[in-house]
Amino acid sequence: MERVGQLWDRALVRAVLSTVAVIVLVAGVIVYASSRNSVKVAATPGPAIAPTPSAAKLYGPKIAVPKPALDTARRFVDAAVLRKDVAAAWAMSTAKVHGGLTRARWDTGNIPVVPYPSEKFGGARFKVDRSRQRDVLLEVLLSSHKSGVQPVDFFMELVPAGAGKWVVQNYAPRGVNPPIPAAQP
């Protein structure tokens, strides 16, 4: 410890260490100040954020809600959500709704579609959020005829499957993005 004290008593050592300390302090202030600046945009031409495709490019032009799409939505609620005919629900939905299940596993009735108790079911109302050539998005309100049972709100997305047929591409509770379970080996 005495040796360190003796080194510090030398003027040259104090000058060098003081200079290094000032350089480190100035460098730290510069780095801090530059990191606190507003967002810097690159000097390259073009937009800073990649443009997203318009709804018309993604889903096609606006159309009136096709009757077959609404029919599929009603049948899907009855077959899959109320669990009255899960086998028929398979054909009304895409692999995304199937959640990786095989047809045999789907047919057991343990499916990745949020159920609603059929004995309490009072009806379903549909509100159109988007109706385009390649996509129809509906809000589905399921209500009960029994008092004390709260209505629940879901989103249902349907896509065309050829020859005027529509299938369910997505069915999820409003405001929630639940994970879809993967198939077990």
pLDDT given for residue 137 in this prediction: 93
Confidence band for 80, pLDDT divided at 50, 70 and 90: very high
- CA-CA-CA-CA dihedral for 68, 71, 72, 76, to nearest 10: 180
> If you write DSSP's letter for every residue of 37-80 in order, what string do you get?
SPPPPPSSSS-SSPPPPPHHHHH-SB-PPPHHHHHHHHHHIIII
As a whole number of angstroms, the distance between CA 158 and CA 66 comes to 11
As a whole number of angstroms, the distance between CA 165 and CA 173 comes to 24
Six-digit token string for 107: 């047919």
Tell me the per-residue pLDDT of 119-143, one tens digit each, with 9 for 90 and over. 999 999 999 998 999 999 999 999 9
Confidence band for 112, pLDDT divided at 50, 70 and 90: very high
Residue 165 has pLDDT above 90, yes or no: yes
Confidence band for 108, pLDDT divided at 50, 70 and 90: very high
Name all domains of the chain by residue range, CATH numbers in brackets. 60-173 (3.10.450)
Six-digit token string for 54: 């318009």
pLDDT, averaged across the chain: 84
Backbone angles phi, psi at 118, to 5 degrees: -65, -30
- CA-CA-CA-CA dihedral for 59, 158, 94, 100, to nearest 10: 90
Provide the 8-state DSSP code for 131: E
Q: In the chain, pLDDT over 70 holds for what percent of residues?
A: 84
Beta bridge partners of 127: 139
Task: Check residues 39 and 126 and name the one with the higher pLDDT.
Answer: 126
